[in-house]
Structure 1
Amino acid sequence: MAEQLSIPQPIATLTGVVLAGGEARRMGNRDKGLIPFRGRPLAAYALDALGRVAGRVLINANRYRETYEQLGYPVIGDAGDGYEGPLAGMLAALRAAQTPHVLVVPCDCPLLQPAQLRRLYDTLLAQDAEACTAHDGARLNPVFAVLKSDLANSLSAYMDSGERKAEGWLRRHRLAVVDFSDAPALFRNANTPEELAALEKEIA
């Protein structure tokens, strides 16, 4: 709790974007960010965390845009047709941002904490990096990342070449990595109804 209370004011030069543009096939094609979790849409938890860190917050979604707009933030869709994975959402975020940096997070991690997200931004600045992503102690989590907004052209070219691996693109740039092995719960998510029910029961 003390870590949360230490968070300063939102950063005016940072745009936060919740990535909610996937198909969620293992959720029966339900839009994952809108699935109820403890009485609220899953995406609402990520939005709450981003709102305490970033001066501007957006939602990246390709379906049910009007429903997402009811959560109180502008909605942007992927630039291309179809579902091209999280990189398409990252590219949409970079193109929509009017700030030097963008913080992206997935819509399905209800345990997000703003203090931990702030660590990504602070580390990027401290290491003069172009991108900063998270490591949970076991693996890299490239969909939790702070990116320089001027990387949009690089990402577009990477995707035009047929590549879709987020980690592969990130490693083409000056990449900082934050060790979150002290807070692995940040990355707890749910990809199936059963996982979502188990997570809700565990928290309760």
Structure 2
Amino acid sequence: MWEVNMLLRRDCLLGGLSAGLVLALPVIVRADTRSEPAGRLVAAARRQVGVTLTYDAAYSKLDYPGGDVPRERGVCTDVIVRAYRDALDIDLQVFVHEDMRKAFSAYPALWGLKKTDRNIDHRRVPNLQAFFRRAGAAQAISEAGADYRPGDIVSHMLPGNLPHIGIVADERTADGSRPFVVHNIGAGVRLEDVLFAYPITGHYRYRV
């Protein structure tokens, strides 16, 4: 679906051309992404703002599939997992668990585990990074805001070597130079101008 915004339309009859030839000034055409996967993913992420109000990294026993902690709390990865479930019916708890079962050694060995744990594996940033890379979703890391599309996933390294992850939104800064990010960095899910606030460690475009 295309939405056409007419900024200005004026018929011009140019001298020297045959009578009746009318030229219209250019118009701006904007794609309506509300029905597209990326648009649905961003909308699902934004709906978490005001719902998830705290950051809680405590280990929890989860149902499988579809396991989650109460939505008023969570971590940065929960923003990604919930958005994919709500918008695209993709359960990253299942996808990550099944891929780790097939290729456990391809995932980071940072926690001393010898087997998968479907309660926590999908809630760890390095595991999501490995999954997206293995799924062929990795994109170039760039310093240009225009290279990051709505629905893209971006991971960062915070001070203290703390991995972080969020979803690129469809809203941009006032100067249009970069998009906002939906994430939970410690005070609940928020829409903020943080794309280049910390070193970017990964850029992914998965199923959008």
TM-score normalised over the length of structure 2: 0.30
TM-score normalised over the length of structure 1: 0.31
